[in-house]
Structure 1
Amino acid sequence: MAKKQTDSAWETLLDLEEQPAGPLHDRLRRALRSAIVDGRIAPGSALPPSRTLAVDLACSRWVVTEAYAQLAAEGYLEARSGSATRVRHGVAAAATRPTPPKPPPVPPRFDFAPGLPDLRAFPRKRWSDAIREAGLQVPFTDLSYLAPAGHPRLRRTLAGYLNRSRGTATSAEDVTICGGTTDGLARIARGLRERGFTHLAVEDPGWTWTREAIADAGLLPVPIGVDRDGLRVDLLRARPEIRAAIVAPAHQFPTGVVLAPARRAELIRWAHDVDGIVLEEDKDADYRYDRRPVAAIQGMAPSRTALLGSVSKTLSPALRIGWFVTPPRWTPAVAAANPLAVPPPVLDQLAFAHFLDSGGYDRHLRAGRRRYRARRDALLAELARRLPQARVSGAAAGLHLLLHLDGVQATRVVAAAARAGVRVDAVAGYASDAETGDSTVILGYGNLADSTIPEAVARLADAIEAAARQAGGPGTPPQEGLRLPEAD
């Protein structure tokens, strides 16, 4: 077919068989009119020449010219000598009267949303160089369909990186590249289901996506409480139907606690006793500001632990690159339970492998730790100045902290802050019991610009004051923030 203009309608699907019975030119007229009225052919679009459309429809040219002439007489088309026949402007809009689209939501000016890194600091130049290098070096054979487990080079590189930086004990054969932590969790959960598992314990409070991914994979998520030492293993032991649990030992969300050494050992013993498995969510492990990052549990018990990680909190969630490490006896079962799994694009995998091999990822993490520690310190100082009565908690790690309020419901603060252009979350939105953390808000600072911290905190303080007035002012009975149970 000849080269088409961008406003042409040459490729519009016209199904004449769907039209009521009648002469062919009449069915073509009705099909064209429906396409115009429905908006599939936009005003001003050029219809194909009558000879071309006649060939496409395997009919005589008269059928097309007659249909065009009738539509022109009805006001749908306009034909000029020496020019294409076009849809008349205003016809479709008048016929359909479409509802105006809703304007996109206005993003908050100050975003305390948890779980995001500093997107302004994404290494555009180095990542572009890595993509270019991958494109130049990739063998043409790697541009075909590859194994669902991911590219062998990235699996080898990632296994070495995790063994070196996270203290894991794994090999490339047990590393699977996936589309992120949620994708990895869903795949493992399907593998557990195929092996007869029915329940999977989750930290409470915790990420809602975790519970949703588990349920979508066919398992029942069971909330298990968290105290100051982390996940309560005694509650796991009280539920014999549970043989799998997912934990974030390095920095639990949203409480910010770190799984204590004794609790780690207790969790591993539980997994051995019930012939179960621990799923270790490792995304916050790269950011610890008061000491060196804690090693992964997987290195302590590789036969009982699956490790999940991604670049969502280190580079960007838009890359959709994650991984999971499974115990050798679980690797085939998880693969068999996900026969249609699709890994990230090959060039992106190879770019990340190059980024790891070149040391670019290590340098990016070191710079991020310095940036986030300084930002956290600045946020704490501003909170102390503007909200001296509020209590802050959470280990010096990760990309968020908790702000505990007295006499104010966090949900009211969230609403008042939104009206002031500030995005914050309430702990209650991540708990199985809506009353948990009802006076505690989550302040994510990963994607918050340093220069905006004073104004952001000032607006948040005003929102808290407005929420307190709405609740009844000083006479309101005090409410405690999130109070974790004492460790056993």
Structure 2
Amino acid sequence: MCQALNCAGASIAFEDPTLPECPAVAEMAGLRVNRIGVDRDGLLVDDLTDEAAAVVTPAHQFPLGFTLSAQRRLQLLSWARRTGAVIVEDDYDGEFRYDRQPVGALQGLDPEHVVYTGTASKSIAPALRIAWLAAPTHLVPALREVLRFDETHVNVIDQLALASMIRRGDLDRHLRRCRTRYRQRRDRLGRAVATQLPGARLSGIAAGLHAVLELPGPPSAEQELLDRLAAHGVAVDGLSSFRHRPQDSPLGVVVGYATPPQPMYDGAVEALVAATRAYCADAV
């Protein structure tokens, strides 16, 4: 996608915070990267200028976990129409919404200005290595040219197996089971935080496979907190690792609650809470 957009002096906007690998890939492709802040309503659209494209996670912002509001969606589409820019919609875990039906794709509102991208990594397994995009008509020739030389071919058997799952309704049944399981896991984590960690909170909507655990304290304490959690066998990411300016991040960790096997999940939550509570007690 970055190669198809590449042209002299072009720039691309990414949410801040975001996965650091995403802007790194764009820079490797020769694009200039602009980082745009995010609040509870999603991307700060007013901060966009003359970028050729903007990459957004409207259904569930990573890592903060908010949804792009209806007003911001309209503003973003208006910006794209006015400037001729392309919006790249990364719908990486849009299937997993627990408190209501999933939010409709931004691409459905303006297919000629939005590139919709998705993957089976969250819904089935990362090892499947299947992803897709729905692109505006005017971008198809450039994408085809890039893929001629750069395509990583997907195993045909895997493609046929996924197509069969979709056709028979197996994928829908699988996703329903997953939504139930992950909703229960998030609820379990939320109850533990609410009852055992005064002053802490989980941020973001009830969706996805991760949550941000926000804690009282200075941002400079993050590494000490991570070390304490690691000593208790808890592997999480510091919130600052997803920001362009780590020093601007509040104290918090990104907790992926889908990873532990089911028999180990309660123990993992207990270890997280116990280590965090001990850290908070020592920090007082």
Cα distance change, pair 449–382 in 1 and its aligned pair in 2 (3 A): farther
Distance 2:66 2:117 in 1: 19
Distance 2:233 2:82 in 1: 51
CA deviations on 1:95-152 (whole Å, 9 max, x unpaired) are xxxxxxxxxxxxxxxxxxxxxxxxxxxxxxxxxxxxxxxxxxxxxxxxxxxxxxxxxx
Find the counterpart in structure 2 of residue 435 from structure 1.
247
1:271 equivalent in alignment to 2:80:
yes
Decide which of 179, 183, 192 is 1:369's aligned counterpart: 179
What is the correspondence of 1:317-336 to structure 2 with a 5 Å cutoff?
317-336=126-145
Q: After TM superposition, give the deviation of residue 243 of structure 1 in Å.
A: 2.2
1:305 equivalent in alignment to 2:114:
yes
1:425 equivalent in alignment to 2:237:
yes
Distance 1:250 1:258 in 2: 5
Distance 1:287 1:436 in 2: 29
Q: After TM superposition, give the deviation of residue 459 of structure 1 in Å.
A: 2.3
Find the counterpart in structure 2 of residue 350 from structure 1.
160
What is the correspondence of 1:15-414 to structure 2 with a 5 Å cutoff?
188-194=1-7, 196=8, 198-236=10-48, 239-240=49-50, 242-340=51-149, 341-407=151-217, 409-414=221-226
Q: Secondary structure at the residue paired with 1:283?
A: coil
TM-score, structure 1 as length reference: 0.55
Indicate conservation of the 8 Å contact 1:386/1:457, yes or no: no
Distance 2:239 2:75 in 1: 27
Q: Secondary structure at the residue paired with 2:36?
A: strand
Aligned residues: 281
Indicate conservation of the 8 Å contact 1:197/1:243, yes or no: no
Distance 1:457 1:374 in 2: 13
TM-score, structure 2 as length reference: 0.94
Q: Which amino acid is 1:204 matched to?
A: D
Indicate conservation of the 8 Å contact 2:89/2:106, yes or no: yes
Distance 2:187 2:277 in 1: 24
Q: After TM superposition, give the deviation of residue 197 of structure 1 in Å.
A: 6.1
Q: After TM superposition, give the deviation of residue 419 of structure 1 in Å.
A: 1.6
Distance 1:457 1:346 in 2: 39
Cα distance change, pair 204–322 in 1 and its aligned pair in 2 (3 A): same
Indicate conservation of the 8 Å contact 1:229/1:259, yes or no: yes
Distance 1:398 1:407 in 2: 26
Higher relative contact order (CA 8 A, sep 6+): 1
Distance 2:210 2:279 in 1: 22
Q: Secondary structure at the residue paired with 2:182?
A: helix
Distance 1:279 1:208 in 2: 16
CA deviations on 1:37-83 (whole Å, 9 max, x unpaired) are xxxxxxxxxxxxxxxxxxxxxxxxxxxxxxxxxxxxxxxxxxxxxxx
Q: Which amino acid is 2:237 matched to?
A: D
Point out the structure with the larger strand share: 2
Q: Secondary structure at the residue paired with 2:127?
A: helix
Q: Secondary structure at the residue paired with 1:459?
A: helix
Indicate conservation of the 8 Å contact 2:214/2:250, yes or no: no
Cα distance change, pair 454–388 in 1 and its aligned pair in 2 (3 A): farther
Distance 1:461 1:346 in 2: 44
Any gaps of 5 or more consecutive residues in structure 1? 1-187, 475-488
Distance 1:389 1:232 in 2: 28
Q: Which moved more, 1:364-373 or 1:378-387?
A: 378-387
Q: Which moved more, 1:421-430 or 1:343-352?
A: 343-352
Q: Secondary structure at the residue paired with 1:253?
A: coil
Find the counterpart in structure 1 of residue 270 from structure 2.
458
Q: Secondary structure at the residue paired with 1:284?
A: coil
Find the counterpart in structure 2 of residue 36 from structure 1.
none
Q: After TM superposition, give the deviation of residue 469 of structure 1 in Å.
A: 6.5
Q: Percent identity of the aligned residues? A: 38
Distance 2:127 2:62 in 1: 21
